[in-house]
Amino acid sequence: MTDANKSQLGKGTVYDSPYDPGLLFPLSRVENRASLGLSSDLPFHGEDLWTCYELSWLDLQGKPCVGIAYFRVPANSPFMIESKSFKLYLNSLNHKNFENIKVLTKTLVDDLSKAAGMSVSVSVCDVRDALTLNGANEKRFMCVDDLPVSGFEYQPNANLLSLDKAVGGIHEGFLCSHLLRSNCPVTGQPDWGTVFVRYRGQKINHESLLRYIISFRQCQDFHEHCVEQIFIDILEKCACESLSVYARYTRRGGLDINPYRATLDWSASASDIRTSRQ
């Protein structure tokens, strides 16, 4: 049996590593099944269904993409895949460019099938296709993720924010993005979230807001600090009369942290919503 002690379990880890299918660590099913008195003639069939809520990659222009992935590993495959190695492999895709979801899916199928020793089924869906918002009025938020932007930075830069000067007057805007990613300052593990921005004031340039949110991709800070920085930067750079910033992060260890910050003229209570990745 492949020795799990030789895997990455319990060892220090670099999470922002380059794409590397060699990170996948196969574990033979034979020894555990032998202890149950099972041979190759199994009395059952089935599969191991894995769900990844934090799949992310780059398009050819360097713009981040996010999705939810479903992996089906046949129960009769000679190998299962050790979970931490699976996570590290998926994280190694974070900064790899793919032409489209079809090319990404083929890469996942090829790499995972090689590790499992049998064909693995992979399905990737856009996170917005599975999005569910349960709070009052949350469906008013317009997602900016599909805007045709380029020239990305991956460290927070408030100077990326700008106003839409071609549009005058005072606006009340409801914008959101699923492309918020920061990193734990202690462990380096990536944190994934959806950010909701509501404001009243001059119209914010949507492309600039998207570039700004993406700029947190390699930032190392706590959830709460990231949201407070986003709030202050938008408030100051865009001269908002009123503003709220609400981030819904994916959970880790059974806990999700969802910081909400708003100007004093708006509610101090966060709405009770949940996204598809939570």
Sheet holding 242-249, edge to edge: 142-143, 171-183, 190-201, 242-249, 260-262
Q: What mean pLDDT, rounded, does the chain reach? A: 88
How many alpha carbons fall within 13 Å on the CB side of residue 275?
28
Q: Which of 191, 226, 238, 240 is catalytic?
A: 191
Pairing of strands 171-183, 190-201: antiparallel
What confidence score (pLDDT) does residue 9 get?
Answer: 46
Lowest pLDDT segment from 17-21, 50-54, 109-113, 130-134: 130-134
Tokens of 111: 């790499």
**pLDDT of 47 over the 90 cut:** no
pLDDT of residue 136: 43
Question: Is 164 marked active-site?
Answer: no
| 184 part of the active site | yes
Closest C-alpha to 58, from 18, 100, 112, 111: 100
pLDDT tier for residue 213 given thresholds of 50, 70 and 90: very high
Q: Is the dihedral of CA 210, 214, 277, 109 positive or negative?
A: positive
Q: What is the mean pLDDT of residues 7-27?
A: 74
The string of DSSP letters for 142-154 reads: EE-TTS------S
Is the sign of the CA dihedral 52, 154, 246, 98 positive or negative? negative
d(CA 206, CA 51): 31
Residue 159 Rama label (left phi>0; alpha psi -120 to 50; beta): alpha
The owner of tokens 């000067």 is 165
Query: Averaged over 234-245, what is the pLDDT?
Result: 94
Report pLDDT for 99: 97
Task: Please tell me the pTM assigned to this model.
Answer: 0.77
Domain 4-128 matches domain 131-262 at the CATH topology level: yes
- Looking at residue 96, its amino acid is K
pLDDT tens, residue by residue, 95-144: 999 999 999 999 999 999 999 999 999 999 887 776 554 444 467 899 99
The share of the chain scoring above pLDDT 90, in percent, equals: 59
Q: Any idea where the domains of the chain sit in the sequence? A: 4-128, 131-262
Beta strands in the chain (DSSP E): 26-28, 47-58, 64-74, 79-81, 121-126, 142-143, 171-183, 190-201, 242-249, 260-262
Model confidence at 254: pLDDT above 70:
no
Residue 60 pLDDT more than 70?
A: yes
Percent of the chain surpassing pLDDT 70: 90
Q: Which of 16, 126, 184, 221 is catalytic?
A: 184
Tell me the Ramachandran region of residue 61: left when phi exceeds 0, alpha when psi lies from -120 to 50, beta otherwise.
alpha
Pairing of strands 171-183, 142-143: parallel
Residue 85 DSSP label: H
Assigned CATH for 131-262: 3.30.1130.10
More confident residue, 257 or 201: 201
> Are 101 and 67 contacting, i.e. CB atoms less than 8 angstroms apart?
yes
Q: Express each pLDDT in 67-89 by its tens digit.
A: 989 898 988 899 989 988 998 99
Q: Which of 3.40.640.10, 3.40.190.10, 2.40.50.140, 3.30.1130.10 is the CATH number of 4-128?
A: 3.30.1130.10
- pLDDT (average), residues 258-269: 91
Q: How far is CA 77 from CA 4, 31, 98, 118, 182, in A?
A: 18, 14, 28, 5, 36
Residue in the block written with tokens 């003229």? 265
Is 94 within 8 Å of 57 (Cβ atoms)? yes
The mean pLDDT value for 202-226 works out to: 95
The 10s digit of each residue's pLDDT in 157-207 is 999 999 998 888 899 999 999 999 999 888 888 999 999 999 999 999 999
